[in-house]
Amino acid sequence: MDWNQNINEMASGFKNAAILLNSLRAGIFEALGEEWKTSQEVAANCGLDPRATDVVIHALVAAGILKMDGDRFSTEPGARPFLLGDSPSTLKSILSHNLFMMRGWAHLDQVMQSGEPIRNQEQTKDQMRDFICGMENVSRVSSQEVAAKIDLGSAKRLLDLGGGPGTAAIIFAEANPGLEGVVYDLEGPIEIAGQQIAKAKLSHRLTTMAGDFHTDDIGAGFDVIYLANIIHMMDSEQTLALLRKCRNALVPGGQLLLKDFYLEDSKIEPAFGAQFSVNMLVNTRGGKTYTRSEVLALLGTAGFSDFEVVDVASQSQVIVCIAKSA
């Protein structure tokens, strides 16, 4: 290994991230669309400084995101579906959320000294929407894979707990015509979920419920509960309490599908999980990437059995388990 190169690449990785994410936020890719434009035209369209825009656009060419022909620029065709907001493959919302997170990561040294998350970052309504719609961006493919790999059997009632924009519930309902469901989350996300459910023409089978699953009732009589990418935001005590609440909301023999980024017992593999745990350190009090062993122990304590681990997407696993009779 060339340690000099490796360390320098790691230390300077923020530069391309800052160029890409701030360009997305400034509207450069939307301004280009599928056309060729000069940097001056892009600057005028976005209300940006012409000189600054020209410098950044050339850096995007150097990074391989844009291509150049004389004084005109266009987005690489392979990159467009992920950068344009109206594309079915868009990553625009989750990338915008990454910009919000990057600003918090810059204060990691403070977090390491205090052990407390960064609290000076209050999300605006637009940033909250970026986060919730970003969950749709990242869960689209994984939810389809979960639906394909996990048989819900004769399940009739689903709870998508902490379901954000309702992506998983929509995909599960489309894959299982006899399934009805409830998407449960806070009021802001639930408003978005309702819009997405109506757009999918599934309002006759999917409903929404606003509440705080830490303190409020989540309903009962469900055959399946899907809990995805939630427990990494909580400490062990909160996680156990939520798993017990799920157990009580399920019919005996009902399934819990617990999806997250699980670490091996070494806590260094996969590397993505170790890195993601730092993100939870920066942004939550007590959250982390759990080891699979830790979660299996918590599930057993909460009253679940018959565990099966299913690989989904590139970084996640779903622990499928059964609610034991009281």
Distance CA 17, CA 96 (A): 11
**Residues across the chain:** 326
Give the strand order in the sheet containing 304-312.
Answer: 206-210, 180-185, 157-161, 222-228, 250-260, 316-323, 304-312
Distance CA 39, CA 297 (A): 56
Do 259 and 318 form a contact (C-beta atoms < 8 A)? yes
The 10s digit of each residue's pLDDT in 24-52 is: 999 999 999 999 999 999 999 999 999 99
The label of the residue with tokens 């409830």 reads 182
Using CA atoms, how far residue 206 sits from 30, 106, 145, 288, in Å, is 33, 40, 20, 31
pLDDT, residue 118, reads 82
* Per-residue tokens: 179: 């399934």
pLDDT, residue 94, reads 85
Reduced to 3 DSSP states, what percent helix, strand and coil does the chain have, rounded to the nearest 5?
Answer: 50, 20, 30
Distance CA 259, CA 319 (A): 6
Do 295 and 318 form a contact (C-beta atoms < 8 A)? no
In the chain, what is the straight-line distance between the N-terminal and C-terminal CA atoms, in Å? 56
The label of the residue with tokens 């919730």 reads 132
pLDDT, residue 321, reads 97
Helix axes 13-26, 3-11, angle to 10 degrees: 30
pLDDT, residue 130, reads 67
Q: Cα 233 to the chain's mean position, in Å? A: 12
Residues 6+ apart with CB under 8 A from 9: none
| Domains of the chain, each with CATH number or no CATH | 3-99 (1.10.10.10), 125-323 (3.40.50.150)
**Beta bridge pairs of residue 65:** none
Which stretches of the chain drop beneath a pLDDT of 50?
none
pTM recorded for the entire structure: 0.88
Residue 130: its H or E element: helix 125-149
pLDDT, residue 188, reads 87
